[in-house]
Amino acid sequence: MKISARLKRPVAISCLAATFALPALAQDFRYHPKAQQIPPPACLTMHFPWEGGSTPCSPEAHEEWLKAITDWRTERLIRVGYDGSRYNMPELKWAQSAFIQPQMMVHDRYFYDPVAGKYTVDRYLDDLDKRYGGIDAVLIWATYPNMGIDNRNQEDMVASMPGGVEGVKQMVADFHRRGVKVLFPIMMWDQGTRDPGKDWYTATAEFMKSIDADGVNGDTQDGVPLAFSLAADKAGHPLVFEPENGPADEGLAWNVMTWGQYDFQFAPTVDKYRWLEPRHQVNIQGRWNRDKTDDLQYAFFNGEGWESWEDVWGIWNGVTPRDAEATRRMATMERAVAPFFASTGWEPLYPMHRYGVYSSRWPLENRTIWTIVNRNEYDVQGRQITVAYSPGMKYYDVYHGVELKPEVEGDKAVLSFPIEAHGFGMVYAAEGEPNAAMQKLMTKMKTLTTSPLSSYSHEWKWMPQQLVEIASTKAATATPANMVKIDGGEYVFRVQGIEVEGSDDIGVDVQFPWEDSPRRFHEHKMEIKPFYIDKYPVTNAEFKKFMDATHYSPKDSLNFLKDWQNGSYPAGWDNKPVTWVSIEDARAYAKWAGKRLPHEWEWQYAAQGKDERTYPWGDRWDDKAVPVPDKGRTMRGPDNVDAHPQGASPFGVMDMVGNVWQWTDEYVDDRTRGGILRGGSYYQPQGSIWYFPQAYRNDNHGKLLMMSPSYDRSGALGFRCVQDAQ
């Protein structure tokens, strides 16, 4: 390859520098971590004959690998000037035994009951206790994917939850009462919504203190900066910080937890952060994995935890009964022996007799634990492991809750026990009888393992959804005031969801009544019945007439008509669409008016007609047909509903796109609710792809994950009504 003269010298210098650097990097180079995973020795990877064949792992090969990664650890800690003192802080030590942590969407119907209007923390935790043995911490997620529908920032979204800050604080106390620690996320990318008025370090520390949170997850972050920890300390409320991605190695000193987002292979890899600092807690996160075997086995091998995330942005990816039972057993053992996992004498990939069975050795004082995983698809019986022997030493199969009879061979003992396909094992060695805590654990495990994991179903299932019924109205015989008649007819309804994540997997978006599962892309030929639709979205002036006539007062009033003051809208806002109304508020207005909310396909037909146009006015975007976008951090408010006559649909329906989103249908499943929003809005927060995306096209819809009226209301969301026709 020809190199230009301009590049020749820098390349030569780089090569020379690399030559001199080789001795210094030799230890790092051979088993250099890939992301946060240290590779196993090459002899643990099977090679076919045409690849040169496999080489059995000798004791010398294991010792060479172990010495290499140990030397690397020693050198690496020196290189980064490591100080592990934060792991000794009493306020942060809980993280070391926080093995199971779900990311819980606040929209989970097991967590909050919108009908009763109250948090149901006990119901949520009881469900997890029953299904997979409970949790140690919970990451409560109130932000993405809804954030950005208006200018509420990440703290505002939490404060919009039922009861506001005080309600959230009491909810956190409910988790604490059950022994569960609570984390909330922070998003460095949230720089397009409301400015908090102070640096994010201080704002985060003060807000987390106000709700008594225990920790913070750093969304999309390669380490949460030290400034956040220092700000929390200064506020008198130290926090555990858990970045989504691994920090630079020096960041291990103040990020005492991390997510593990692994590339799985057959022979387990060693978690770099756990190896550098055994007190560091990792929760392996594989949100889209339908089979959790890899996640759970890698966690057990590394003595770490698992992010038991099932509600993924409103898409249910529940654990199977087999994975749930494996979680229960794994977590039961890990919790009981947690101090062993802080051992600086950890020996990963301790030699085992059988191919595909791997272990980690965890010594603590005069006792030792081995965590064992069988990566094979078949059961393995008989001789499994050779360990040190001395008179008086006893050995136990903790997983099955029984004592083992060793085959003594000089100063060694060979232990035999069964481990099922893709299963787990734990061996305990100590002089004399096990202590009371170990006896209790073995008694419990003996009961838990009466049935093999293979007796539990490993079939993954998607969750069906149902459309919430919209009751018909009294049929109008003539066109009501300020409404437009939409003649019925045959219509090909095509629409797709604009969720940022989930691809086209089953379970994404919604399940229309004529579909057999939720999915992102929809098409259905249908007969539209005649109906009348409001020519414009409901305005502030119209909504005030409703308020004056009914004295409507929602039970959950937080954020209700947030732009109004003293019972009325701001001056000059009479003809702007009313916002900060929940779907319940909109339904109450519609019922009073003798109308109802439109089904999505009715809304789209009124916007599109039969010619499948892209926008209500045609197939090309027209800036004059919509408000000028607001790309700032404060919302100026929507335009008047009649300000853009160029935006009329084929039927003459106005203001359907680009001013405010509009409520239509609601879908529910056993865990979540979602409101279908149409038309997009004028507000476009800048700086991130993660903000709630716009759906200006007639064939796009938005899905707003719903929790409670206080949380669902938005400054960019209004509604219009329809009435049935004879």
Cβ distance 504 to 533 under 8 Å? no
Peptide bond into 10 cis (omega under 30): no
Q: Which amino acid is at 413?
A: A
Nearest alpha carbon to residue 692 among 148, 289, 270: 148
Cβ distance 353 to 493 under 8 Å? no
| Sheet bearing 483-486, strands edge to edge | 483-486, 531-534, 722-724
What secondary structure letter does DSSP report for 121? H
pLDDT tens-digit series, residues 420-438 = 999 999 999 999 899 999 9
Q: Which residues contact 305 (CB under 8 A, 6 or more apart)?
A: 98, 99, 100, 101, 136, 281, 282, 283, 284, 299, 334
The tally of CA atoms less than 13 A away on the side-chain side of residue 245 is: 7
* DSSP-derived 3-state class of residue 593: coil
Nearest alpha carbon to residue 638 among 498, 546, 539: 539
Q: Residue 650 burial by CB count (10 A; 0-12/13-18/19+): exposed, middle or buried?
A: middle
pLDDT of residue 5: 33
Listed in sequence order, the DSSP H helices in 609-681 are none
pLDDT tens-digit series, residues 49-80 = 887 777 788 899 999 999 999 999 999 999 99
- Rounded distance between C-alpha atoms, residue 463 and residue 667, angstroms: 12
- Rounded distance between C-alpha atoms, residue 467 and residue 511, angstroms: 8
pLDDT tens-digit series, residues 498-525 = 999 999 999 999 999 999 999 999 999 9
pLDDT of residue 324: 98
Question: Could you tell me the pTM of the whole model?
Answer: 0.94
Mean pLDDT of 487-505: 96
Token pair recorded at residue 406: 């060793």
pLDDT of residue 352: 96
Q: Kindly report the number of other CB atoms within 10 A of residue 329's CB atom.
A: 22
- Rounded distance between C-alpha atoms, residue 223 and residue 232, angstroms: 16
- Rounded distance between C-alpha atoms, residue 229 and residue 221, angstroms: 15
pLDDT of residue 17: 37
* DSSP-derived 3-state class of residue 541: helix
Nearest alpha carbon to residue 395 among 372, 374, 378: 372
pLDDT tens-digit series, residues 311-354 = 999 999 999 999 999 999 999 999 999 999 999 999 999 999 99
Cross-strand pairs, 429 = 368, 395
- Rounded distance between C-alpha atoms, residue 600 and residue 128, angstroms: 35
pLDDT tens-digit series, residues 387-426 = 999 999 999 999 999 999 999 999 999 999 999 999 999 9
Indicate whether 18 pLDDT > 90: no
pLDDT of residue 32: 86
Indicate whether 4 pLDDT > 60: no
Indicate whether 3 pLDDT > 90: no
Cross-strand pairs, 701 = 497
- Rounded distance between C-alpha atoms, residue 658 and residue 324, angstroms: 45
pLDDT of residue 19: 36
Parallel, antiparallel or unpaired: strands 103-105 and 137-141: parallel
- Rounded distance between C-alpha atoms, residue 632 and residue 613, angstroms: 31
pLDDT of residue 29: 58
What does each C-alpha distance from 692 to 269, 495, 579 come to in angstroms? 37, 18, 17
Indicate whether 14 pLDDT > 50: no
pLDDT of residue 158: 98
Q: Kindly report the number of other CB atoms within 10 A of residue 456's CB atom.
A: 15
Instruction: Provide the pLDDT confidence category of residue 31 given band limits of 50, 70 and 90.
Output: confident
Nearest alpha carbon to residue 523 among 557, 550, 493: 493
Question: Taking the chain, what is the end-to-end CA distance rounded to the nearest angstrom?
Answer: 78
Token pair recorded at residue 67: 């010495």
Cβ distance 406 to 413 under 8 Å? yes
- Rounded distance between C-alpha atoms, residue 292 and residue 295, angstroms: 5
Cβ distance 262 to 37 under 8 Å? yes
Indicate whether 570 pLDDT > 50: yes
Buried b (16+ CB within 10 A) or exposed e, 541-554: ebbbebbeeeeeeb
What does each C-alpha distance from 174 to 96, 181, 205, 277, 703 come to in angstroms? 22, 10, 21, 32, 30
SS (H, E, C) 34-94: ECCEECCCHHHCCCCHHHCCCCCCCHHHHHHHHHHHHHHHHHHHHHCCCCCHHHHCCCCHH
Q: Which residues contact 539 (CB under 8 A, 6 or more apart)?
A: 574, 575, 576, 577, 578, 641
- Rounded distance between C-alpha atoms, residue 170 and residue 212, angstroms: 9
The tally of CA atoms less than 13 A away on the side-chain side of residue 142 is: 25
Domains and CATH numbers, the chain: 57-260 (3.20.20), 466-724 (3.90.1580.10)
Nearest alpha carbon to residue 297 among 289, 305, 288: 305
Q: Residue 289 burial by CB count (10 A; 0-12/13-18/19+): exposed, middle or buried?
A: middle
Asked whether the CA dihedral 358, 363, 364, 370 is positive or negative, the reply is positive
Cross-strand pairs, 357 = 374
- Rounded distance between C-alpha atoms, residue 214 and residue 93, angstroms: 11
pLDDT of residue 46: 81
Token pair recorded at residue 333: 């053992």
Instruction: Specify the DSSP element, H or E, that contains 137.
Output: strand 137-141
Q: Which residues contact 180 (CB under 8 A, 6 or more apart)?
A: 125, 135, 136, 137, 138
pLDDT tens-digit series, residues 103-157 = 999 999 999 999 999 999 999 999 999 999 999 999 999 999 999 999 999 999 9
Could you give phi then psi for residue 349, rounded to 5 degrees? Answer: 55, 40
Mean pLDDT of 471-482: 96
Nearest alpha carbon to residue 536 among 644, 680, 695, 675: 644
Q: Which amino acid is at 582?
A: S
